[in-house]
Amino acid sequence: MNALWTWLFDPANWGGAGGIWQRIGEHLIYSGVTVLIASLVAIPLGLWIGHTGKGRLLVVNLVNGIRALPTLGLLFIAVLLLGPRLSGDLAFLLPAIFVLVVLAIPPILAGTYSGVDEVDPSARDAATGMGMTPGQVLRDVEIPCALPLIFSGIRSATLQVIATATIAAWVSLGGLGRFLNDGQASQDYGQMAGGALLVAVLAVLVDLVLAGLQRLLVSPGLSAPRQTRRRRRGEADAAPSAGAAGAAGSGSADARSVSVDAAEPSST
């Protein structure tokens, strides 16, 4: 712990080439580009699968299959296959981004598909009854209702990418993984622990930013827990029944009152 705090609070480790701020910036660039590419691939595919109901087995098999792949081994294979065909830093950067994109696609795809698939069918029927086209139903009904789970998939993918982007250092790239790799090579365990701590803190901060963005873009009613929404729908469905039961009970009471009055003898 002493070595960790000594390395972390040393001003010389924060500035200049190869400093902490530079490595954080590189790590954010790798992660941001990865999540952006993965979202451009997974969100349209997830919307199409959830809207049409086709390819559901693709989601399950793809998600389970990709998650079982060893990330570091896949990185080395990508470098061996793509590296000779590229030049300069691209020979290592593109394979690393490719591997991270493969890692980020499953949670975004699963979240998008699940969000559209769980939209209340009555909302779709109402939109169709109003004359909306399938494209309008997807744009104006399904996507807004699916936003909580879409954001959940993006946040999950972002956390995984930030944690795994450290593998870029194993193919001579930058990022916070350099502290882990270089610290291990020089047996500087304070540097290794500091790099790991920085990765964890960065992941938490980015997740908080995404949570704030989700709060701004998603309707508060949709952000409520699923059990709460179901309970509200159940109470709304039960309200008419309760009203009808109350009316029936009132009618029965009035009928009993009339029958009692009719049974009493007249004073005249």
pLDDT for residue 234? 53
DSSP structure class, residue 10: -
Helix (H), strand (E) at residue 117: helix 90-117
Q: How high is the pLDDT of residue 196?
A: 93
Say what angle helices 189-217 and 143-164 make with each other, to 10 degrees: 170
pLDDT at res. 21: 94
Q: Taking a C-beta distance cutoff of 8 angstroms, is the pair 179, 23 a contact? A: yes
55 phi/psi in degrees, rounded to 5: 75, 25
207 close to 213: Cβ distance less than 8 angstroms: no
Predicted local confidence at residue 34, as pLDDT: 95
The pLDDT, as a whole number, for residue 241 is: 45
For 267, the token pair is 């004073």
Question: 3-state DSSP helix/strand/coil percent for the chain, to nearest 5?
Answer: 85, 0, 15
Q: Rounded distance, CA 8 to CA 192, Å? A: 10
pLDDT value of position 50? 87
Q: For residue 237, what are the contacts with CB-CB under 8 A and spacing of at least 6? A: none
Output the pLDDT for position 82. 83
pLDDT in tens, the chain (268 residues): 888 888 888 888 898 888 999 999 999 999 999 999 999 999 999 999 888 888 777 776 777 777 777 888 888 888 888 888 887 778 888 989 999 999 999 899 989 988 998 888 888 888 888 888 888 888 888 999 999 999 999 999 999 999 999 988 888 788 999 999 888 888 888 999 999 999 999 999 999 999 999 999 887 766 655 544 455 455 544 444 444 444 444 444 443 443 434 344 444 3
Q: How far apart are CA 105 and CA 72, in angstroms?
A: 17
Q: From 143, 57, 48, 162, select the one nearest 104 (Cα to Cα).
A: 162
CA geometry: angle at 80 spanning 77 and 84, to 5°?
A: 150
Q: Taking CA 212 as the corner, what is the angle to CA 207 and CA 214, rounded to the nearest 5 degrees?
A: 90
CB within 8 A of 156, min separation 6: which ones? 107, 111
pTM of the model: 0.78
